[in-house]
């Protein structure tokens, strides 16, 4: 019935970018909405948990999963040209980076700053992915969700998605028993390059085009980030903290070089990578878990790290940064326990797990 085989208690080692060797009761790849509905109904009937995933590039499994892992591969892209914009209707099981490449090949410019981000469309919306001056929210028109309770679909327009830094309404109100099935993306035709100071070093010409930006971003990312095919990781492990001006002033008085980025409401974002870098953990490792030396916000699985290794390392980092800088780092990735998602701060604060 499903596109790929369903086997019992299979390992997920090659199906999560952290390369954690845990098992699930079952792994299923769905290619249609009907398949998604059927498998979720079956799970509910037998009281088995289930979780919907894309590439599993933003999660950490903490234990063997007792339920069904559903990998969403529902495909479809429809592009409509309007006089001032392009409207893209994209199914949630399309790969994000493939969409970026496809649009550029069609001469549709605007997604290039989000090039080379792993994962699928569904999670791009949930997570409000962002990089190099652009976030998913900037090009989102709507997100379509499916209730797995009553099988109804609902289109949530951007202004109701409550997007913010790595956050959206799909992380709380529409989290359990909802699937993202489609997103609408609107790209205006009056393209302007988005160039951050971190990109300037790579730019030679004044009149830069979208293809060149795409190539620069891919080059920066390939240089700086570990390739999950070779080294297990889930990108930034923690979020960049957003703090008040008062707290920033205090930090600057102690650490003059701390980088910061002004946000709305006179708040500032500071760099969690800088905090970890400046703590000088000196090649710390717990089992096969360690900090990626070129980008210290990324925790890596060198080969056979267990979830306990990663969590122990994350707990050490969390408590050292709290003690030294009085900042509580919040994980960026989702933690998945034996029965489903677990609040990541509860894990780091030793409340569970
Ligand atoms: P998954 O990890 O599979 O799922 C994430 C969460 O979304 C889970 O809770 C899952 O249950 C839920 N979910 C997924 N699909 C659905 C659906 N259809 N319906 C309901 N729930 C669903 N992120 C950035 O924002 N910017 C970056 O620059 C960036 N760089 C990265 C670099 C590397 C090397 C890596 C490994 C990761 C990086 N990430 C980055 C993080 C990650 O790629 C993104 O968060 C991505 O959107 C995750 O997609 P995914 O399909 O792998 O989601
Ligand atoms: N820095 C250090 N040491 C480090 C890492 C960073 O000092 O080890 C400082 C440097 O000053 C650097 C600054 O932090 O200039 C920012 O670093 P970087 O440009 O690498 O970005 P980041 O803030 O660490 C965020 C996102 C990334 C995204 C990049 C590029 C978060 C949690 N992470 O990282 O997204 O690709 O910006 O825009 O917001 C992800 O979400 O998984 C992810 C990789």
Q: What pLDDT was estimated at residue 30?
A: 98
The answer to whether the CB of 180 is under 6 A from ligand 1 is: yes
Class of domain 3-72: alpha beta
Mean pLDDT of 309-326: 97
Query: pLDDT per residue over 187-238, tens digit each?
Result: 999 999 999 988 988 887 788 999 999 999 999 999 999 999 999 999 999 9
For 178-211, give one letter per residue: b (16+ CB within 10 A) or e.
Answer: bbbbbbbbbbeeeeebebeeebeebeeeeeeebe
Looking at ligand 1, which atom is closest to the CA of residue 122? 18
Q: What pLDDT was estimated at residue 64?
A: 98
Domains 3-72 and 77-222 share a fold: no
Looking at ligand 1, which atom is closest to the CA of residue 334? 9
- Name the average pLDDT for the chain: 96
The answer to whether the CB of 122 is under 6 A from ligand 2 is: no
Dist CA 307 CA 319 (whole Å): 18
User: By alpha-carbon position, which residue is closest to atom 19 of ligand 2?
Assistant: 198
Å from CA of 120 to ligand 1 middle: 7
Q: What pLDDT was estimated at residue 6?
A: 53
Judged against a pLDDT cut of 60, whether residue 142 lies above it is answered with: yes
Q: What pLDDT was estimated at residue 263?
A: 93
Query: pLDDT per residue over 150-179, tens digit each?
Result: 999 999 999 999 999 999 999 999 998 999
Give 331 or 5, the one with higher predicted confidence. 331
The answer to whether the CB of 55 is under 6 A from ligand 1 is: yes
In 3-state terms, what secondary structure has residue 40? Answer: helix
The token duo for 226 is 């570990």
Confidence of residue 7 (pLDDT cuts 50, 70, 90): low
**Domain spans, the chain:** 3-72, 77-222, 226-348
Confidence of residue 146 (pLDDT cuts 50, 70, 90): very high
Number of neighbours of residue 283 by Cβ within 10 angstroms: 8
Q: What pLDDT was estimated at residue 350?
A: 80
Return the CATH number of 77-222, one of 3.30.465.10, 3.30.450.20, 1.10.10.10, 3.40.50.300. Answer: 3.30.465.10
CB 259 within 8 A of CB 297: no
Judged against a pLDDT cut of 50, whether residue 79 lies above it is answered with: yes
Percent of the chain topping pLDDT 90: 92
Q: What pLDDT was estimated at residue 258?
A: 95
DSSP per-residue letters across 237-284: SBPPPEEEHHHHHHHHHH-TT--EEE-STTEEEE-HHHHHHHHT--S-
Looking at ligand 1, which atom is closest to the CA of residue 52? 11
In 3-state terms, what secondary structure has residue 221? Answer: helix
CATH number of 226-348: 3.90.78.10
Mean pLDDT of 232-250: 97
Judging by DSSP bridges, how do beta strands 289-291 and 285-286 pair with one another?
antiparallel
- The angle at the Cα of 129, spanning 123 to 131, to the nearest 5 degrees, equals 150
């Amino acid at each position: 019935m499903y596109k790929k085989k369903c086997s019992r208690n299979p390992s997920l080692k090659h199906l999560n970018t952290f390369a954690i060797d845990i098992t699930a009761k079952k792994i299923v790849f769905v290619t249609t909405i009907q398949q998604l509905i059927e498998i979720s109904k079956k799970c509910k009937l037998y009281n088995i948990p289930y979780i919907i995933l894309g590439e599993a590039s933003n999660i950490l499994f903490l234990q063997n999963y007792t339920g069904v892992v559903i990998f969403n591969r529902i495909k479809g892209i429809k592009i409509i040209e309007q006089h001032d914009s392009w409207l893209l209707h994209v199914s949630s099981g399309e790969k994000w980076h493939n969409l970026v490449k496809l649009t550029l090949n069609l001469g549709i410019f605007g997604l290039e700053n989000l090039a080379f981000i792993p994962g699928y469309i569904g999670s791009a919306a949930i997570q409000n992915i962002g990089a190099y001056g652009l976030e998913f929210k900037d090009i989102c028109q709507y997100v379509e969700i499916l209730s797995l309770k009553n099988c109804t679909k609902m289109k949530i327009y951007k202004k109701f998605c409550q997007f913010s830094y790595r956050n959206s309404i799909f992380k709380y109100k529409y989290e359990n028993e909802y699937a993202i099935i489609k997103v609408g993306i609107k790209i205006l035709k009056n393209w302007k390059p988005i160039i951050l100071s971190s990109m300037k070093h790579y730019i030679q010409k004044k009149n830069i085009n979208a293809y060149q930006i795409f190539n620069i971003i891919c080059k920066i990312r390939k240089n700086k980030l570990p390739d999950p095919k070779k080294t297990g990781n889930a990108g930034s492990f923690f979020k960049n903290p957003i703090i008040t001006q008062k707290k920033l002033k205090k930090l600057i008085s102690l650490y003059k070089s701390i980088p910061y980025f002004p946000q709305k409401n006179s708040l500032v974002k500071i760099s969690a990578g800088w905090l970890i870098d400046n703590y000088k953990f000196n090649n710390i490792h717990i089992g096969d878990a360690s900090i990626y030396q070129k980008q210290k916000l990324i925790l890596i699985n060198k080969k056979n790290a267990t979830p306990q290794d990663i969590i122990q390392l994350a707990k050490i980092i969390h408590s050292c940064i709290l003690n030294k800088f009085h900042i509580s780092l919040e994980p960026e990735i989702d933690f998945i326990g034996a029965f489903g998602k677990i609040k990541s701060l509860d894990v780091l604060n030793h409340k569970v797990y």
